Chain A
Amino acid sequence: MSGSSLCGVVEPADFQAAAATAAAAAAAATRANSSSDRDEWSVSECGFMDPEVQRTMRSGSAAEDITQYPLRGWQEVTGEFIAACQELIPGELAQDMMFGLFEAMSAIEIMDPKMDVGMGFDKSDLPPPSFEAAITMGVIKLDDLTPTELIGIFDALFSCIVSWLEGNSMDQVLFTCLYLHAPAKIKDKPLRVFCTAVRNLIAVIKSIILLAGVNEEEDFQLYGNSTLLSAEKAHPGNIFGYLKEVEDELVRKCKQLTSPEDLMSVVHRLRFMRHLFQVIYQVEQMETSTGTEDRMSEIYKNLNVASELLPLIRKTIDRGTQPVEGSEAPNPIGFSTRIHDRSQPPSFPRSIKIRDRPASFQFLEEMISRFKYACKVTRNKDYFSALNFFIEYSKKSGQCILSRSVLQAIFTANLRMVHGRMPMKQFLRHSVQAFNSPPVLSAKNTVSSDPKVQQQLENFFRYCISLNTFTMFIRICGFNRARQRDKLGRLIENFDAIQVDAARLDSFMNQLANERAMEGNELHATALKHSTHFSTWVLYNCFRAMLIYLMSGFELELYAVHEFLYIYWYPYEFLVGFLVSALTRTENILLAQEEYAEHLSKTQANGGSTSKNRKVAKPRKNKKLQRPYRCEIVFYHALLSLCGGMYKAMGALTKDGRVRLPMDTFDNEEVRYIRRFRPFGSLTSPPPVSYQEFKSIRDHMMLASVEDLYSVAAKHFDQARNILENIQNPDQEVLDLLQIARTNFVVMNVLARGHQKDVKRQPEFDFSKHSYFPIIKLK
């Protein structure tokens, strides 16, 4: 062994230490007490057992201490170390007793180009220039920038903002721009104002996202260089004033030029920044102050101007300086790409691709239209339509964190505006009324002033708020698509407690109705009767959460093909049916109440001028009330048929031997089934369906011949097609579903007739048209 002489040097120390700690070691570790062998050392001497080391290893601030080493002195052991390692067998590890999987997995690999920021360092390399260094080196221009240079810097900064919003660290994208480090020191006025605006924009965006709280680490990097993050002295409220001033100056200059196109392009960018900033700033203000209505129209105006400016800007991208081929910097001047690399947390990615300019402006264009869409949330005055809006918005705009946060901001601000100081409780109360209009909630009805009733209602809504279930449902829709499923799983469990409470409230109302009927108070009794209002409302929302949870698994590609059968079975057999019946029941209640109200008004007002007025107003109101949920019900009917079609189709394909099944030894369908429906297990309503129940239902279906199964599936798809075709003014989703239903109908018919009977290939399931339902394709 090459290092044996070194070993000799340390040995005496071993003996000394062993002798010194003999007593302690004997007491502490019974195994160590017999040590007399020359090669042995006591436990206390091992590095890990060193109390000093242990203390540093355990304390959180230990990382600072590493810089104090060596405590004793470096002793070169390369040869000895490598020789010792070679004694280990392949796969054997020599590891510290505190070393585990976590440490192994979190280690970054040195010299790996993706992980190691310090790689490629050369001692002769100059450090990346800071703002001051760049000035002394003369590589950064502070004054008299040409319009071409300005356009280049502005466009590069827009790209940086977009890259930041896509989840990159602001230090690695935005603050690679040296101009942003000290905007006040820039002499060129347009550039100074623009950079100040960007600095403030960053702070405002960050605050919106923080307040909305629908971000996850993969969406957005909240943290960055804190000294740069604190906004420049300028108050954000003054920024658009500055921008306007510079714009006006430049426009005046343009008038004196013979070819002002380049300068006008600069003006367009400044103007776009002004309107974008104003939008973002107003949204942030809305979250903290009142006066929402004025702000909304302001925001809308600014969004319109901004979206008109973007085509002009996109057309003039090539007027600016372009990034140098092969360079990481988004623009030839003003950027120092690796300036913050060494201050990043070690686990951060080393190099970042900043979006190119055309793609960045496209992103901004889409973002502006997403904002416009988000503004429409204010039209939704009750939970039912608000939830629909959020679900729809998430499908269309779920990928952009800022758009999602803006929606949350507008929604909460709007809630406050409409419902005053106790927004959520009032909102829910109002929502139940809008959903199925329980008479006890109507202020007109005298029963609502009954203190007992009031108390019960108060308790129920307070309970809803304290459990947070309804608020959470809306917020969950604000998270990114992949995270929603996980959160919904937990939300569904929460519904049980509210269901119980709602049912209790309903039965209380019914009981009270009986009492009042006994007392002879017919008016109150009728108002309180047939009230499954509250539980229907809660159940409806719970079913929706369940359906989204289940179907989102397709979107996230979690299910294997052989699992499709029970995933489609559950909504076919239960969920969608429940939804339809909840909505139908609600409609019936509304109709019954309408009739009753009509009856009342007739008996109350016998003739006279009032009844005349009412008659004029009524027909319209009636029509609107008659079938408020017709659209939803029809749509769910179509979903039901599609689920049924898919379920039967999967049954047929499985029986036909066209579905690849897992090998028996590795398979346990029951375990998978339970896992897939786990969040539903904690609910009392709908009661959980056991695997045995499912199995017997499936086995029963499977008794039919393959051909019959195919044709039953075809029938379901045909039914779906029929329903979907009859929907008036279909949106894109309906059209897509229609195409899926049509195609699958044909495929099922073909298979029923025995096409490709001998080729048992698994068909392809193409989810590109709709994330819940595939087009079945035979290869």
Chain B
Amino acid sequence: MEDLCISGHQVQVQPVAPAEPFRITTNAPHQMNDPSMTAGRKTLQKWLGRVLRIVITDGRVLVGFFNCTDRDANIVLSMCAEYLVEGQEPRLLGNVMVPGKHIVSISIDEGEPTATNVEVA
């Protein structure tokens, strides 16, 4: 596990200060239960690596693994599938960056398996 921590390591020792020039919030194990983390960061941290569904301004739906985001909610998805019409055959795009200004709605594949499945069905 040590080798996976490298990217986040120096971040962890840095104090949480708004004046900090460069900061990364990641879901690397050592950052998982950092008590100094704000609630929003914790939420994002938890969602990283999950599957997101993003509807954008021209009506297309993008489904992919949530990889990265920033203050403006620009979102990077990996293994993204693009649906012109949901339910029809998608086109597979790979890595995409969705600019925050084009995002209409975001959903996450989550919830209690039983309850949400019933809800969707």
**A45, B24: Cα distance in complex, Å:** 20
Contact (Cβ within 8 A) B111 A46: no
Q: Which residues of A contact B84 (CB under 8 A)?
A: 118, 121, 123
Query: Are A35 and B120 interface neighbours, CB within 8 A?
Result: no
In the assembled complex, the Cα of A766 lies from the Cα of B22 at a distance in Å of: 44
B111 lies within 8 A of A10 (CB): yes
Interface string of B86-121 (1 = CB under 8 A from A): 000011111111111011111111111100110110
**A73–B109 CB distance below 8 A:** yes
Select from chain A the residue with minimum beta-carbon distance to B90: A67
Are the C-beta atoms of B92 and A94 separated by less than 8 Å?
no
- Is A10's CB under 8 angstroms from B68's CB? no
Which residues of the partner chain A approach B43 to less than 8 Å between Cβ atoms? Answer: 3, 7, 80-81, 84
Known: A89-B20, A94-B48, A121-B84. A100 touches B7 (CB 8 A): yes
User: Which residue on A lies nearest to B26, using beta carbons?
Assistant: A97
A687 located at the interface, meaning its Cβ lies under 8 Å from any Cβ of chain B in the complex: no
B31-83 at interface with A (beta carbon < 8 Å): 32-33, 35, 38-51, 53, 56-60, 62-73, 76, 78-82
Question: By the criterion of a CB under 8 Å from any partner CB, how many residues of chain B are at the interface?
Answer: 86
Highest count of chain B CB atoms <10 Å: which of A65, A85, A97, A110? A110
Partner of B27, one of A40, A48, A90, A107: A48
B110 to chain A, nearest CB (A): 5
Interface residue SS majority, chain B: mixed
Residue A9 interfacial (CB < 8 Å) = yes
Known contacts: A43-B32, A118-B91. The answer to whether A103 contacts B112 by CB under 8 A is no
A119 within 8 A of B: yes
Q: Cα distance A83–B106 when bound, in Å? A: 12
- Known contacts being A75-B116, A91-B23, is A31 close to B30, with CB within 8 Å? yes
Which of B46, B76, B106 is the one whose CB lies under 8 Å from A46? B46
Residues in chain A near residue B56, CB distance under 8 A: 110-111
- In the bound assembly, the distance between CA atoms of A778 and B46 in angstroms comes to 64
Q: Knowing A70-B53, A91-B21 are in contact, say whether A37-B33 is a contact too (CB < 8 A).
A: yes
Partner of A346, one of B44, B70, B85, B93: B93
Q: Contact check, A84 vs B109: say whether CB atoms are below 8 A apart.
A: no
User: Which of B40, B80, B97, B106 is close to A87, meaning CB atoms less than 8 Å apart?
Assistant: B40
Interface centre among A3, A45, A62, A107 (most CB of B within 10 A): A107
Please state if A74 and B107 are interface contacts (CB–CB under 8 Å): yes
**Using Cβ atoms and an 8 Å threshold, which residues of chain B touch A312?**
none
CB-CB nearest in chain B for A12: B112
CA distance A67 to B58 in the complex (A): 20
Is A32's CB under 8 angstroms from B109's CB?
no
A29-B32, A47-B50, A74-B120 are known; give 7 further A-B pairs, CB within 8 A: A37-B33, A78-B105, A82-B73, A87-B39, A95-B25, A97-B27, A123-B59
6 A-B contact pairs sorted by A residue (CB < 8 Å): A76-B106, A88-B44, A90-B71, A94-B45, A110-B96, A111-B99
